Amino acid sequence: MFYRHSQKGRIAVIIVYVDDIILTGDDVDEIRRLKEHLALEFEIKDLGPLKYFLGMEVARSKKGLVVSQKKYVIDLLKEAGMSGCRPADTPIDPNVKFENKEGRLVDKGQYQRLVGKLIYLSHTRPDIAFAVSLVSQFMHSPMEEHEEAVFRILRYLKSSPGKGFFFKKSEQRGIEAYTDADWAGSITDKRSTSGYCTFVWGNLVTWRSKKQTVVARSSAEAEFRSMAQGICEMVWLKRIMEELRKPITSPMKLYCDSKAAISIAHNPVQHDRTKHVEIDRHFIKEKIEEG
């Protein structure tokens, strides 16, 4: 992604992926000059207002933008031979717990292809992010129960192939993040799963669900690590907004439902109890003091 700033304080943004390019911004003249310059150097085709990009469909209204991957979902179901499958209400059984036990292995290549495409689909479908993060942990030795979980995600997608994002016009001008953690949720290694989602100007823009790299010794520690990841994401988004010349002037807000983790973040007296999360503790404390 590249930025070009004009003397008027406006900006044009170029987003490039291989030979696909998006031009956007609030400076119409600069965008026109960019098109003319690119046409001199390369053979390009102007497709007009953005409608389709890398499998993502874009629709506009007076209230905002809608981004979805309906065609991508339909093609994925067709490839998996599940176009006529019975839809599921949820992407995964909430009580399921995967473990590395003996069982019948399934086609590794097919499993990796399906999960890889689901990972890409989760760019516009945060509702499947947690389920996809679970099945992606067994890419090297998938078994029947893991394959069944992938098929469950596909059956869920069948129920709502056109679901996507709505980026609404808003008067809000802040950044917010919500963090959570599933303490010792994995029965194979007792590691926790962190999750966060961030909102810019009232719209959901990034999210993540991922197993933590170390075993948390308490629920507060698991929540604390998730908070640190959420803050890192907000700091990155704040820098992006500054580059776009839309700086965030108000304090960013982080929401966490763990009173213990919030207490540790605010109270440095808890030092002796938090030596095992010392780096995260100092990082969070520093960002709180910076506002």
Q: Which residue has the tokens 């099945």?
A: 135
Q: What is the pLDDT of residue 1?
A: 66
Q: Where in the chain is the domain with CATH 3.30.420?
A: 172-289
Q: How confident is the model at residue 98 (pLDDT cuts 50, 70, 90)?
A: confident
At 218-237, the pLDDT tens digits run 888 888 889 989 999 999 99
Q: CA–CA separation, 35 vs 40, rounded Å? A: 9
pLDDT bracket for residue 271 (50, 70, 90):
low
pLDDT at residue 190 is higher than 90: no
Q: Find out whether 198 and 253 touch, Cβ atoms under 8 Å.
A: no
CATH of domain 172-289: 3.30.420
Look at residues 192, 178, 185, 177 and name the one whose alpha carbon lies nearest to residue 277. Answer: 192
Instruction: For residues 174-181, give the mean pLDDT.
Output: 95
Amino acid occupying residue 205: V
Give phi and psi for 217, each to the nearest 5.
Answer: -85, -10
Helices (H), the chain: 28-41, 70-79, 108-121, 129-135, 144-159, 219-243, 259-266, 278-289
Q: Quick one: pLDDT at residue 267? A: 72
Q: How much is the average pLDDT of 177-182?
A: 93
Buried b / exposed e along 60-92 (16+ C-beta atoms within 10 A)? eeeeebbbbbbebbeebbeebeeeeeeebeebb
8-state DSSP, 144: H
Q: CA–CA distance from 158 to each of 54, 55, 74, 191, 239 (Å)? A: 21, 17, 8, 32, 38
Rounded to two decimals, the pTM is 0.80
Q: Are 244 and 236 in contact (CB under 8 A)?
A: no
**% pLDDT > 90, the chain:** 45
- Given a cut of 90, whether residue 264 has pLDDT beyond it is no
**Higher pLDDT pick, 47 / 97:** 47
C-beta separation of 163 from 200 below 8 A: no
Contact 159, 87 (CB under 8 A): yes
pLDDT, tens only, 132-170: 988 998 898 899 999 999 999 999 999 989 999 899 998
Quote the pLDDT of residue 185. Answer: 77
Confidence category of residue 269, pLDDT binned at 50, 70, 90? low
Each residue of 12-69: pLDDT tens digit?
Answer: 888 888 889 999 888 888 888 888 988 998 898 989 899 999 889 999 989 999 999 9
